[in-house]
Chains A and B, each alone.
Chain A
């Protein structure tokens, strides 16, 4: 059994930052990643981030990932296991994983679960036709492997992921037939939606997918208009010829390990589904288990990075590695999170968090 001070599960923006900041303070860290690459969704983000300098604003996700990965790989007190799915967390604190084809056990003093989120999907006739993808798969094909997902594609969802990936498709030379959005307005940042509109891409608000068609692969999609109660309006069907359909209809936190560990969970629609009850230091109701990033509520990568930093620093201090600047640094991280969640764009997140924070800290 491997013993370690801090186990970080997931090497996306939250996990990388958590590992770095805990290790910088002096803690011994094991960073486990399921896939063969570190960086999580950051490695697919070819657009520049918003926020302030402290959260890498103005930089592209892929470049931020490269910096964080490089820093983690150069830190001797961080052990990195790639291609390693974590299989379970048990009540005695033991974590099991599949490492180099072997089942192994780990006994960490503290755990940060930074497993991210999974894409939601939609039910409609023929939703299993080849050519229908989640937005994550489209980004993986296009931005990681350099493979075009389709020649002409319809995007579903005008949140940030929908409008950003639609623009990336245009950049890759794919024709974007339109963006379909069930709600009456675009949810994503205006600057991204405006780019699409300048390219003549129609955005169909108050519309939804009714059915996909084709044999043996996608040839077209029927969309329809929705009334104010989100119900299809008869006679509003419209057929759009496409060989690709991309679903960007939201994310849901990947919380299996937290359920297994016995953490108190709560359904909070604003945060994407079931999320762990925790305090302001990202500590769950199982006191050795912490969370950071989308697993604790679906947000932007910027917030995930700050949460990772905060949890990493806090845990290092708990383990006895308190740096000289600990208090002001922790306070700064809290202020950064508050700033990222401020204003009208952060309202949904603030509402969600108010339902799941078990007590105020600091």
Chain B
């Protein structure tokens, strides 16, 4: 697999960039996300999280089940500021 393979397609993050982050000692999805925005696009990591977790597992010799996921926060989908501000039902 080549380093220019796209891993996070929302944010155009390549395998090379992910591997570089792991080499710097970032061994969780949360750290990698904060460093390079992988998983911060419209799909919120639904596509790339597993691929990145697999890369971390490979590099560290851990089981993928032991790679912590990043924190899940609302909103689960992108929404317009206007919807937030305009909702009279927002009680």
Contacts and interface: CB of A to CB of B under 8 A. Distances in A.
Chains A and B come from one and the same complex: yes
B5 A252 contact: no
A88 B74 contact: yes
A103 B90 contact: yes
B87 A87 contact: no
Nearest to B7: A123
A85 interface: yes
A205 to B, nearest CB: 21
B39 to A, nearest CB: 12
B91 A98 contact: no
Contacts of B47: 118, 121
B1 A125 contact: yes
Contacts of B72: 256, 259-260
Q: How large is the interface on A (under 10, 10 to 19, 20 to 34, 35 or more residues)?
A: 35 or more
A132 B33 CA distance: 25
B83 interface: yes
B77 A274 contact: no
Interface string A307-346: 0000000000000000000000000000000000000000
Given A96-B74, A103-B89, A120-B50, A128 B9 contact: yes
Contacts of B15: 123
A125 B75 contact: no
A102 B74 contact: no
Contacts of B87: 102-104
Q: Chain B at the A interface: mostly helix, strand, loop or mixed?
A: loop
Contact of B1 (A2, A86, A87, A123): A123
Interface in A66-84: none
A239 interface: no
Interface string A221-259: 000000000000000000000000000000010101101
B77 A104 contact: no
Interface string B62-90: 00110001001111110110111011111
B66 to A, nearest CB: 8
Contacts of B82: 101
B75 to A, nearest CB: 4
A98 B77 CA distance: 9
A2 B91 CA distance: 10
A105 B7 CA distance: 35
Interface in A37-81: none
A105 B91 contact: yes
A105 B90 contact: yes
Interface in A98-115: 98, 101-105
Contacts of B64: 267
Contacts of A34: 77
Contacts of B5: 123-127
B40 interface: no
A85 B83 contact: no
A101 B83 contact: yes
Contacts of B50: 120, 252, 273
A361 interface: no
Q: Which of B1, B2, B44, B73 has the largest count of A CB atoms less than 10 A from its CB?
A: B1
Contacts of B9: 128
A360 B25 CA distance: 42
A123 B51 contact: yes
B76 A88 contact: yes
A86 B76 contact: yes
Interface of A: 1-2, 34, 85-90, 96, 98, 101-105, 118, 120-121, 123-128, 211, 252, 254, 256-257, 259-260, 267, 269, 273-274
Given A98-B77, A102-B88, 10 more contacts: A101-B82, A102-B86, A103-B83, A103-B89, A103-B90, A105-B91, A127-B5, A256-B72, A260-B76, A269-B65
